[in-house]
Structure 1
């Protein structure tokens, strides 16, 4: 992406070389018994010296992926005939969210008889892709984020997965996303709330105090207007139609519901949040009329200094790791002063396929990803939050561009909500996203949008987790 350094450091180029070769070997692109190109050819391809290439090859030798043969070259190490291959389905984003390829390589070093093949699933039809591959016996382990798992259970696919034991040393709220009738069907690896991310230098140069948890969206709009005037650029941006962004405003509308409100139809309360959202994205002085293709473009605008404030997750912060960007994070503003804070939580977990032919090896892989060693790697080398408490709460030294308020998530637990807390199925949420786009395009009005939302709640579902009581939902 263009916002990443145009001149990567030596270590970044060396790591890139090792990661590419390692991934090619793990995924079978470079087959066992074949030879890598000559060192000189690799040096030219990866813009490294021959000495650096040899250093990278030595690392691959230590990992048992290749072996050097004098006067012949570097050969991909043949795996023992008795080795087990695990097929692991996941989104490509895990390569940056928590360095899944590095964790797979470390698991391979510790378990030389088990080979993990990472298979990228289609993010546009993730649940369908995973189901088809499981039905055809092509997956042993599959990764889910919380909305994907919600959709999985709503489609009645939970029986395809194995029940797992809970780990008391993992954050319970991270595991909560994967509970069905009290049983856990995925082991949480990482999680993140949606937070406010801001450019500290922009605020300082404009003479504006940095945002804090006391702010409302009106405060953010006011200060973003000042930022825009001071800098001659837009103050803030996020992707309005993202199903990991706009639900925040609907949830916040629900959080201030008065007693006696119709529990089966929170659409009127959600409308308050929607109007606050409209006030932000409709202000052309503050919010650019720009329709990004995804949240990555939002991060790009922020990294390039085009905007000063974005909504993002801790996962997105990994894109800033090697950039000279002075930034920090804080909790999201509330709709009104005094309202309880509320934000959206995303959790990522790993599930064991019930009919896997290598179930014990797959279970070992899941246990490793949730282990202290693997979770410490996530804490030390990424900005993502490990699901294991001891790893997440570690203090790390210099080396990565992480926000000073990294640990604030520990104080935010009461504000966390999952998508399911809106009381909508994922297919209904996707339909509502389409209606929102029509609304923002002027194709339908607010009255029609509200009528359509009421129609969704007319199906008889209570707002919130179907396994949670109504009183618990209204007091989260």
Structure 2
């Protein structure tokens, strides 16, 4: 605090004091029946006036966290009943939806409920969450749409979640990710389509028109070649083996198949074309960097931030990396597979579910509902580039100074193009298997025929 105090406003210093004391009381650092430091000591510690300290302490009294005793001091309430809710979440939520600030806001509103955030490994999220839900170690858990799909594919784990009442204020498409057999199992909090993000300055310097909704992948390649020739840098990148990137090309193909003379399933021409177009872009190392580092989507964001590439496939979540940078950028829809083709893009959604067997179920439901409330959704709208799931909040204007894309509200026109991984008709393990086969194909271990055969096998398995 001492290193920041000179840069903080009066109100920020006051909020910092209240937040610090509240957290120390809720997490047990300050025990019931013990006294807070004297007002003069708090004023010195937080560098505010005694009058401001008293104002802050009045807030804690109103929340039931402390009791003021005349001529003695401020005592942490003895009879305060606090329940703890264990929340398993993706660590990325800190940036995606400002989870730290949301937790502080929840604790202010519900001082009798303490939420303990437990980070879960992204790649083992579903198995870890399933085990911890069944053992009672988690009361609330966050899911991406693909993680929820994986949970649904294991019927026993889905039964661990409490069915929720629909919320008509949430975008229907955002909630759709967390429905199964007509029932809702997670409260949508935020969502994003995959979009094309581009450096406006690079386009302007090269004298090239910016991307638009009429662009095809061929247009992207042609423009990328011109950008590279002009700027001497690679011009396009995305993490090719990522489930949230290569699946886009499968969606755009419609997963078209046919049958040969013997009745066997074969990759259709449109699907074959989509896979080939995808691989042609990835393997063109004049325009596409040779960074096959796994599935870490931060790689593309880092390259774009350093202006080492001009275009990336990304999401509104990842745009948070640019919100405080003097980076001149914008977004457009992902290119079409062919001119005049149907616009399709992959949609990602974040939701929170409640353990059906939670000991403190009411508290858990209160927290899940809070994250989708107008109060919490306003934090997401004002402090991030992510899209709130609550429609009226998402579409209202903001007065902040975040570096948002000029086309931020573009997503409203793209709803008919949104599709989830589940629309491919393949299981999550099958999609992960395709990812591995694609890496083998790009490295020369297997050829296009091997890739097609494996995909045909998976399609047959999914339909059996």
Task: Please state which band the TM-score falls in when normalised by the shorter chain.
Answer: 0.7 to 0.9
Quick check: 1:195–1:330 contact (8 Å CA) kept in 2?
Answer: yes
Range with greater deviation from structure 2 (284-293 or 200-209): 284-293
Counterpart of 1:351 (choices 350, 353, 356) is 353
**Aligned residue for 1:382?**
384
Per-residue Cα deviation, 1:388-440 (whole angstroms, up to 9, x for no partner): 11011111124100001000101001111100111110011111111111111
> 3-state DSSP class of the match of 1:337?
coil
Instruction: Give the match for residue 332 of structure 1.
Output: 334
Q: How many residues align?
A: 438
Q: TM-score, normalised by structure 1?
A: 0.83
Question: What TM-score do the two structures reach when normalised by structure 2?
Answer: 0.85
Deviation at 1:308, TM superposition (A): 0.6
- Aligned-residue offset at 1:270: 2.6
Distance 1:129 1:79 in 2: 36
Q: In the aligned structure 2, how far is the partner of 1:22 from the partner of 1:431?
A: 50
Query: Compared with structure 1, are the counterparts of its residues 160 and 225 closer, same or farther at alpha carbon in structure 2 (3 Å cutoff)?
Result: same
| Secondary structure class of the residue paired with 1:363 | helix
Question: CA 1:398 to 1:139, structure 2 compared with 1: closer, same or farther past 3 Å?
Answer: closer
Do 2:253 and 2:337's aligned partners in 1 also have CA atoms closer than 8 Å?
A: yes
SS of equivalent residue, structure 2 residue 136? coil
Change in Cα spacing, 1:50 to 1:365, as seen in structure 2 (3 Å) is: closer
1:26·1:117 contact (CA, 8 Å) conserved in 2?
no
Q: What is residue 137 of structure 2 aligned with on the other side?
A: 138
Report the 3-state secondary structure (helix = DSSP H, G, I; strand = E; otherwise coil) of the residue aligned with 1:347: strand
Partner Cα separation in structure 2 for residue 24 and residue 429 of structure 1:
42
Cα gap change, 1:59 to 1:341, in 2 (>3 Å): farther
- 50 and 185 in structure 1: CA distance in 2 versus 1, 3 angstrom threshold: closer
Larger Rg over CA atoms:
2
CA RMSD of aligned residues (A): 3.6
Give the alignment of 1:139-158 within 5 angstroms. 139-156=138-155, 157-158=157-158
CA distance in 2, matches of 1:453, 1:286: 28
Q: CA 1:65/1:437 → structure 2, altered by over 3 Å: closer, same or farther?
A: farther
Shift of 1:93: 0.5
Cα deviation, residue 160, structure 1: 0.4
CA distance in 2, matches of 1:361, 1:272: 51
Contact 1:264-1:461 at 8 Å conserved across structures: no
Q: Secondary structure at the match of 2:405?
A: coil
Cα 1:124–1:434 change in 2 (3 A) is: same
**Counterpart Cα distance in 2 of 1:315 and 1:79:** 42
What CA distance in whole angstroms lies between the structure 2 residues aligned with 1:424 and 1:320? Answer: 34
The answer as to whether partners of 1:26 and 1:116 remain within 8 angstroms in 2 is no
Which whole-Å CA distance do the structure 1 matches of 2:75 and 2:174 have between them?
39
Contact 1:264–1:460 (8 Å) recurs in 2: no
1:368 Cα deviation (Å)? Answer: 1.1
**1:291 CA drift (Å):** 2.4
SS for the counterpart of 2:281 is helix
Number of the residue aligned with 1:284: 285
Which string of whole-angstrom CA distances, capped at 9 and with x for unpartnered residues, describes residues 157-212 of structure 1?
Answer: 11100111111111111111111111100110100000000011111111111100
Other structure's SS at 2:129 match: helix
Residue 5 of structure 1 corresponds to none
Decide which moves more: 18-27 or 382-391: 18-27
Match of 1:221 in 2: 221
| Secondary structure class of the residue paired with 1:123 | coil
Q: Report what 2:96 is aligned to.
A: 97
Correspondence for 2:405:
403
Partner of 2:276: 275
Gaps of 5+ in 2: 1-5, 37-44, 69-73
Superposed, 1:37-56 pairs within 5 Å as 51=47
Is 1:268–1:450's contact at 8 Å kept on the other side of the alignment? no
Do residues 87 (structure 1) and 99 (structure 2) align?
no
CA distance in structure 2 between the aligned counterparts of 1:213 and 1:263, rounded to whole angstroms: 37
Q: Tell me the CA shift for residue 32 of structure 1.
A: 4.9
2:456 to 454, 457, 462: 454
Matches within 5 A, 1:123-134: 123-134=122-133
Distance 2:328 2:76 in 1: 44
Q: Distance in 2 between matches of 1:153 and 1:401?
A: 37
- Decide whether aligned partners of structure 1 residues 219 and 84 sit closer, same or farther in structure 2, where only a CA change above 3 A counts: same
Q: Distance in 2 between matches of 1:415 and 1:216?
A: 15
Q: Secondary structure at the match of 1:285?
A: coil
- Secondary structure, counterpart of 1:354 in structure 2: coil
Partner of 1:322: 324
CA distance in 2, matches of 1:368, 1:333: 37
Is the contact between residue 25 and residue 31 of structure 2 (CA under 8 Å) also seen in structure 1?
Answer: no
Q: 1: CA distance between counterparts of 2:290 and 2:22?
A: 39
Off by >3 Å, runs of 4+ in structure 1:
9-12, 17-36, 49-52, 58-67, 75-81, 257-269
